[in-house]
Amino acid sequence: MTEVTADAALPEFEGVPSAVVRGRLVLHPSRDRYLETCRSLREATFAMCSDLCGVDYLRHPGRDLPDGVTAERFEVVVNLLSLDRAERVMIRLQVPESDPVVPTIVPLYPGAEAMERETFDMFGVRFEGHPDLTRILMPEDWEGHPLRKDYSPGRVPVQFKQAPGPR
């Protein structure tokens, strides 16, 4: 993959805070500009969503962000890949704890369907417009979101099965 330079930001991203981290362009759109940014990247040949995940910064609020970006408790991190350009771009979307809702990118990147469900299941971030936003890893009746930093690990019951005897 090629490295990007600070001037590699395309005109479609004017007004979207960005940084180059370890040779990769990282965009920090607001929730209002998230879909627009993803759509512009899709049109600029970033046709593959290789990863989408959630992060809970409850105990690490002082992370490095570009000027104009307010740190929130949750972050949705999206990695997009352009095979034509042999480049990767990362999107870091700040999501407030008080309203953990972001638009779905499934219409643009159908492969993100399961990744958004996993982020919902583990962190409680809801993806508005998702075609099937149900739990994917935990049982449907599970209470809470296990990867949140304030989730009590002692609440998970451990069930042991009897080990099979010698054969």
Rounded Cα gap, residues 128 and 125, in angstroms? 10
Rounded Cα gap, residues 93 and 153, in angstroms? 27
Secondary-structure class of domain 6-155 per CATH: alpha beta
- For 125-144, b/e burial (b = at least 16 CB within 10 A) is bbbeebeebeebeeeeeeee
| Nearest alpha-carbon partner for 80 in 133, 43, 135 | 43
* pLDDT per residue as tens, the chain (167 positions): 544 544 444 546 778 999 999 889 999 999 999 999 999 999 999 999 999 999 999 998 888 899 999 999 999 999 999 999 999 999 999 999 999 999 999 999 999 999 999 999 999 999 999 999 999 999 999 999 999 999 876 555 656 566 555 55
Bridge partners of 20, per DSSP, are 25
pTM of the model: 0.85
Q: Are 128 and 103 in contact (CB under 8 A)?
A: yes
- Please name the residue ranges forming H helices in the chain: 31-43, 113-123
Amino acid at 128: E
CB-neighbour burial class of residue 20 (10 A; exposed 0-12, middle 13-18, buried 19+):
middle
